[in-house]
Amino acid sequence: MNYELKQADKFKFIEEGEGETLLLLHGLFGAMSNFEHLIEYFRKQFRVVVPILPLFDLDIFHTTVGGLEKYVQKFIECRKYTNIHLLGNSLGGHVALVHVLKHPEHIKTLILTGSSGLFENGMGDSYPKRGDYEYIKKKTQITFYHPETATKELVDEVFEITNNRIKVIKIIALAKSAIRNNLGEELNQIKQPTLLIWGNNDTVTPPFVGKEFNNLIPNSELHFIDQCGHAPMMEVPDEFNRILGVFLAQHATKPNVGA
């Protein structure tokens, strides 16, 4: 499904549907395809918004979790969104956490899936020589329980990123920032109802990470999905949407989600 990429000021984003805002934040190797099933399902009840995070466009000093959070805050201010259901995957979850801690006023609920912020494994201890397609293919595949979820299009996209020297430098900067920015001591400040959806076979942010988030965030609930890796909304979209739909039905103005 192709969606119109809109632009307002310096921000590029997708916005589909009407209703309360469901704002989606992608991860380090994220793309619109990551959220395709989610957008299509929830656009019937929500205004589903996906900002394109400037992972490779910020100067190196601001290529951090905090720098991305400031971008998200300015985007929300620009678009005047309120009553936001904020969802983040992987690094996007980390950015969502920092945002809700700094600017809780417009956030109605928080949804995290495979989020960093406590612990995460990276692409590996060392980066491959540029041009090593098979290495990138294998690293992309282990993100998922089912390797075939890593389509050629997805592998090609990750390969293009990792084959660009400047982009690799910024990936490393973001990864190091995520490791340094541990939120363990702050999570008890989150007041919003929080949904945690975790793959039981996630090797990047393993199941114990989801359990720790659940322990530290006061008003949170945790759901595990079997035979699922780091990106449940891609690998098991029907089950992911079902769990999210039940949660949103409890907290959105119109309780008809997932009916």
What pLDDT score was predicted for residue 123? Answer: 45
What confidence tens digit (pLDDT) does each residue in 201-227 have? 999 999 999 999 999 999 999 999 999
**What is the rounded (10 degree) CA torsion for 21, 202, 102, 20?**
10
Whether 153 is in a domain gets the answer no
**Residue 91 in domain:** yes
Q: What is the pLDDT of residue 119?
A: 84
CATH code, domain carrying 29 = 3.40.50.1820
Residue 220 lies in domain: 6-122+182-251
Residue 139 counted as domain residue: no
Tokens coding 163: 């084959």
**What is the per-residue pLDDT across 170-180, written as a single tens digit (0 to 9) for each?**
988 998 999 99
What is the count of structural domains for the chain?
A: 1
The b-or-e profile of 222-257 (16+ CB within 10 A means b, else e) is bbbbeebbbbbbbbbbebbbebbbebbeebbeeeeb
49-108 pLDDT per residue, tens: 999 999 999 899 999 999 999 999 999 999 999 999 999 999 999 999 999 999 999 999
Burial class (CB in 10 A: 0-12, 13-18, 19+), 94: buried
Is the model's pLDDT at 230 over the cut of 80?
yes
Does residue 240 fall inside a structural domain?
yes
pLDDT of 234 above 80: yes
Q: Is the dihedral of CA 112, 103, 178, 220 positive or negative?
A: negative
Residues 6 or more apart whose CB falls under 8 angstroms from that of 4 comprise 14
Give the pLDDT of residue 130. Answer: 61
**Cβ–Cβ contacts within 10 Å for residue 52, how many?**
18
Per cent of the chain over pLDDT 90 is 72
Residue 124: per-residue pLDDT: 43
